[in-house]
Structure 1
């Protein structure tokens, strides 16, 4: 992994295009460190960069909890990166990944495809702290099981940017496209910029809660919301109902059985997983 000698920061971009490459080298041959990459996209796409900065550093980003910030991040990515059809954020806690924010049900489906096989572009970006950008043909070479499932969901290109908070791996920003042409250098640069700002926003929130107890509560809240939202989405798809109606189903079971909502949601996901398996 290359290093930015001016800042000491690890580069988010590494060489790509070797005939026989390992998954950790799945990046375009832009060969730029983060600072140079962002500088180039600022010159080439000033409007999009302005929208990103306004959205993630303006008044709308103030006072939000971590989960709300991450939702703002994925919405911003979806709206400013033209080739992006779906976006999400994967957070990894104690080795377990989950989707904490997403733009649509396709995001959840493709993320679950990666989690099921424990591999794919977003997990690679998280593990290597490196931007991963691949077309479906390139992804098929590295992650055939995941890629076949993603294709079934209509996704043909992938771009993942790592989220590193205070020097610690936190997760990844995941972008999916239905275009075979996939993402370009400018898209990758915008994703790197959004990921860097998002990491700073999360770090700022966590610094406000220096107590280990408060941080633990925050992490539990993120995990609970993710599990509940994923279960709600699964029920909505299977029963062909609205998300609000799906949530009412979960809440009703929780009240009837006197079991916490998160536990009901987790059990629901396990049951769906067993049925699909």
Structure 2
């Protein structure tokens, strides 16, 4: 169990309000990395190796989030369970988890529509509370979480391209809760994870766009060939030939490319 370090920048209070939940990470990325690397160099090395090394390459978003959850559990001493909540169209769900306890506590939050991970998503700030502090903020959720054996909570938002994508959720069975160093390391993990997810989503969008462009080019080639064939066989202009294809497409409710491909097959059969 690591001890909290008094930096003089954040005061720990017994009963936090909404503005008191982000205690250790009001830092820029460079300052954050410097602080964590100085305090926990081995843990930072493991995080960087896990999330930027070969194991992180070629994974889809769900696999990346599972890797993030495992990495958090492996590198943060006070973390017994971890998961990632993703919010789509206002609905939260658990996309990655390390054990059944994670799923149970996440469901406890979703059921009452409140708790540390949802607060982190909605505010864009880290949430770090012990069970006694959580009981004052979210009594219904805390009763259920305590029954599942969780006594401390740490949630860090995942912000992807300016959008609050979800949160990294850490749970502890320790009454002492998480430390400043735990929160700083979790924030570092969540920031790297946000970048990984953003990269994957951009890659997916790029791949989809390339596929659409390739399909459009292929379609155009088939249509041009069909136009040429119709123009030769019917002795009409290319524009008139295209008009014939378009009319057939509209009347039969078949895509223009499919009409063109069928036309080429029919002409090929006639010539054959």
Shared topology, TM-score over 0.5?
yes
Work out which of the residue numbers 125, 140, 147 in structure 2 matches 1:152.
147
Please, which runs of 5 or more residues in structure 2 have no aligned partner? Answer: 1-8, 210-272
Q: Does 1:208 align with 2:223?
A: no
SS in 1 for 2:23: coil
Alpha-carbon distance in structure 1 between the residues aligned to 2:204 and 2:25 = 38
Q: 1:71 Cα shift?
A: 0.4
Q: Which residue does the alignment assign to 2:234?
A: none
> 2: CA distance between counterparts of 1:108 and 1:74?
12
1:27 partnered with 2:19: no
SS at match of 2:166: strand
SS in 1 for 2:176: coil
1:161 partnered with 2:156: yes
Q: Do the aligned partners of residues 153 and 21 (structure 1) sit closer, same or farther apart at CA in structure 2, a change above 3 Å counting?
A: closer
Seen in structure 2, the aligned counterparts of structure 1 residues 63 and 212 have a Cα distance that, compared at 3 Å, is: closer
Aligned equivalent of 2:186:
191
CA contact (8 A) 1:83 1:187 kept: yes
**2:154 is the counterpart of 1:172:** no
Match of 1:96 among 81, 91, 96: 91
Alpha-carbon shift at residue 26 of structure 1 (Å): 1.7
Q: 2: CA distance between counterparts of 1:145 and 1:35?
A: 38
- Match of 2:125, SS state, is coil
1:75 & 1:196 partners in 2: Cα distance?
16
Report the secondary structure of 1:100's partner residue. Answer: strand
**Shift, 1:30, TM fit:** 6.2
User: Which position in structure 2 is the counterpart of 1:87?
Assistant: 82
Secondary structure of the corresponding residue to residue 208 of structure 1 = helix
Q: What is the distance in 1 between the residues matched to 2:102 and 2:160?
A: 23
Q: Which residue of the other structure, out of 35, 39, 44, is the alignment partner of 1:44?
A: 39
**CA–CA distance in structure 2, aligned partners of residues 181 and 77 of structure 1:** 18
2:126 matches 1:131:
yes
Deviation at 1:67, TM superposition (A): 0.4
Q: Structure 1: how far apart are the matches of 2:51 and 2:11?
A: 30
Q: Which runs of 5+ in 1 are unaligned?
A: 1-13, 215-277
3-state SS of the aligned residue for 2:177? coil
Change over 3 Å in CA distance of 1:18–1:48 after alignment to 2:
closer
Number of aligned residue pairs: give it. Answer: 201
In structure 1, what is the Cα distance between the partners aligned to 2:160 and 2:81? 23
| Partner-residue secondary structure (3-state), 2:153 | strand
Tell me the equivalent position of 1:77.
72
Secondary structure of residue in 1 paired with 2:205? coil
- In the superposition, the TM-score normalised over structure 1's length comes to 0.68
Counterpart of 2:115 (choices 90, 96, 120) is: 120
Which structure: larger Rg? 2
Residue 34 of structure 1, CA deviation: 4.3
CA contact (8 A) 1:27 1:134 kept: no
Superposed CA offset, 1:39-76 (max 9, x none): 20111100000000000000000000000000000000
CA drift at 1:38 = 2.6
CA contact (8 A) 1:28 1:133 kept: yes
Q: Kindly state the Cα deviation for residue 37 of structure 1 after the two structures are TM-superposed.
A: 2.6
Deviation at 1:210, TM superposition (A): 1.7
2:24 and 2:184 in contact (8 A); partners too: no
CA-based RMSD = 2.0
Mapped to 1, the partners of 2:83 and 2:14 lie a distance apart of: 30
